[in-house]
Amino acid sequence: MIKQSDLIAVIDSQKERLKSSEDDLERDLLKSLPASLAQHALIISGIRRCGKSTMLGQMIKEGIDDAFFINFDTPKLYNFEISDFEILDLIISEKGYKRLFFDELQIVDGWELYVRQKLDEGYKVFVTGSNASLLSRELGTRLTGRHITKELFPFSFQEFFNYRHLKPDKDALLEYLDKGGFPEFIKNNNVDILTTLFEDILYRDIAVRYNIRDVKSLKRLLLYLVANVGNLVTATKLTQSLGIKSSATILDYFSFFEQTYLLNLMPRFSYSYRAQLVNPRKIYVIDNGLINAVTPSFSRDYGKKLENVIYWSLRKQNKELFYFNETGSECDFVVCRNNEVEELIQVCYDLSIENTYREQKGLADAMTFFKKNTGTIITLNQTDEISYEGKHIRVIPAYKYLNEAK
């Protein structure tokens, strides 16, 4: 049980920090948020330190006097229980707040019941969280039809070059491929920010929350995945190479990594959902800067860096993503929306004599399979138009493709 005086002290200090914080880049996601929430809570989820709290602050400053803000991710509130919401109610009603902003609210068990109550009372409610599973599970059971969910990611390439006041060209892209998009790291260029983030997610958000005792194996698996961006992986083979007891355990760990937004595992395209589950999946990690911080060897592999950036650009657009390999030739991305193939994409750092045939054939095989006459090859800095076996292939520099991304 938390004392009211202690809770007020936390709220006041957090709001003062919010008032005095520097104005940061307005995130692109702000432009797509609904103008009116009516009876719906706005839920914003995303990895730790990607800028959720800052974005809430930007929303609050438009009318700070009628806005209540509290961040639950502080040691002073670690013992906050559902009964303590009664004290919170007293503070909110006393001050006459109309908009309620709850940061990292998923830490409190039963939070969704409280949000439902405040919606019924006519408040506008905004919630952030850094665990996709916790949010989705509770939203699905208690807030069905009463919430709008959005995802926030580290800076996109567009946000990066705007924040750094750079031109959207090859040089800006090369810097983005190295640094990634975590706002605090971009601002301070201190790699400790990224290594601490990595450890916090590994230990606090996964090992402690899911009561994992063999933390060494958990970390060994995560480091292996981070070091193998763009490569294929199966749980069965990893049990043999990493010495983890069972493939079921590895699948659980995969799920935890994805729930905390550390990485995604992209399936192979198949019309059979079962085949998607059993075939190897490709690894993509949330941010290149984070990968560089914990896997120094990654700094030299610009091909994988570029592929990782393209994946997350597509992922932010809520596209359904697969890789293609039905003929022994691989196409990096089958981009779908509403179960329809929209785009076929191959990614390579540059097209050369050594790799042009391979890249073209993988893309052309996918175009034949899906009955598409056009495809795209994304490189660092090449522009071209290619006719291959009656099909049209566009070659475009990545910085142009990313700058056009919606």
CA distance 388 to 80: 63
CA distance 27 to 24: 9
Select the more confidently predicted residue: 174 or 300: 174
Instruction: State the average pLDDT over residues 359-375.
Output: 96
The pLDDT-based confidence of 59 (bands split at 50, 70, 90) is confident
Give residues with Cβ within 8 angstroms of 89, minimum separation 6: none
Say how far residue 369 (Cα) sits from the centre of its chain.
30
Residue 22, pLDDT score: 67
Domains of the chain listed by start with CATH number: 4-151 (3.40.50.300), 155-300 (1.10.10), 317-406 (no CATH)
The total number of residues shown for the chain amounts to 406
CA-to-CA dists, residue 262 to 75, 149, 404, angstroms: 23, 19, 25
Instruction: State the average pLDDT over residues 58-84.
Output: 88
Give residues with Cβ within 8 angstroms of 271, minimum separation 6: none
The pLDDT-based confidence of 140 (bands split at 50, 70, 90) is low
CA distance 333 to 344: 6
CA distance 373 to 338: 20
Residues 268-290 pLDDT 10s: 999 888 888 889 999 999 999 99
Residue tagged 């937004």 (tokens): 261
Q: Is the pLDDT of residue 25 over 90?
A: no
Residue 168, pLDDT score: 96
Q: Is the pLDDT of residue 66 over 90?
A: no
Residues 297-308 pLDDT 10s: 776 789 999 999
Q: Across the beta sheet with 232-233, what order do the strands follow?
A: 232-233, 281-285, 263-266
Task: Give just the sign of the alpha carbon dihedral 101, 47, 311, 244.
Answer: negative
Instruction: State the average pLDDT over residues 368-377.
Output: 97
Share of the chain above pLDDT 70, in %: 96
- Nearest Cα to Cα of residue 56 among 18, 105, 85, 88: 18
Residue 138, pLDDT score: 60
Give the pair of three-digit tokens for residue 196: 């601490």
Q: Across the beta sheet with 340-347, what order do the strands follow?
A: 320-324, 331-337, 340-347, 374-379, 391-397, 384-388
Q: Is the pLDDT of residue 139 over 80?
A: no
CA distance 364 to 371: 10
Q: Is the pLDDT of residue 36 over 80?
A: no
CA distance 142 to 110: 10
Q: Is the pLDDT of residue 340 over 70?
A: yes
CA distance 307 to 139: 33
Residue 370, pLDDT score: 96
Q: What share of the chain is helix, strand, coil (3-state, %, to 5)?
A: 50, 20, 30
CA distance 32 to 52: 15
Instruction: State the average pLDDT over residues 57-82.
Output: 88
Residue 12, pLDDT score: 92
Select the more confidently predicted residue: 147 or 223: 223
Give the pair of three-digit tokens for residue 31: 């432009």
Residue 129 is which amino acid? G
pTM of the model: 0.95
Q: Whole-number mean pLDDT of the chain?
A: 92
Residue tagged 């997350």 (tokens): 312
Q: Is the pLDDT of residue 137 over 80?
A: no
The pLDDT-based confidence of 256 (bands split at 50, 70, 90) is very high
The pLDDT-based confidence of 23 (bands split at 50, 70, 90) is low
The pLDDT-based confidence of 247 (bands split at 50, 70, 90) is very high
CA distance 29 to 321: 21
Residues 202-212 pLDDT 10s: 999 999 989 99
DSSP string over 370-394: TT-SEEEEEESS--EEEEETTEEEE
**CA trace torsion 380, 334, 316, 42 (10° rounding):** 170
Give residues with Cβ within 8 angstroms of 309, minimum separation 6: 157, 176, 177, 288, 398, 402
Give the pair of three-digit tokens for residue 370: 């899906």
- Nearest Cα to Cα of residue 70 among 40, 100, 108: 100
Q: Is the pLDDT of residue 146 over 90?
A: no
CA distance 360 to 394: 11
CA gyration radius, the chain: 23
Q: Is the pLDDT of residue 134 over 70?
A: no
Residue tagged 């991710």 (tokens): 73
Q: Is the pLDDT of residue 123 over 80?
A: yes
Residue 166, pLDDT score: 97
Instruction: State the average pLDDT over residues 61-76.
Output: 87
Under DSSP, is residue 110 helix (H, G, I), strand (E, B) or coil?
coil
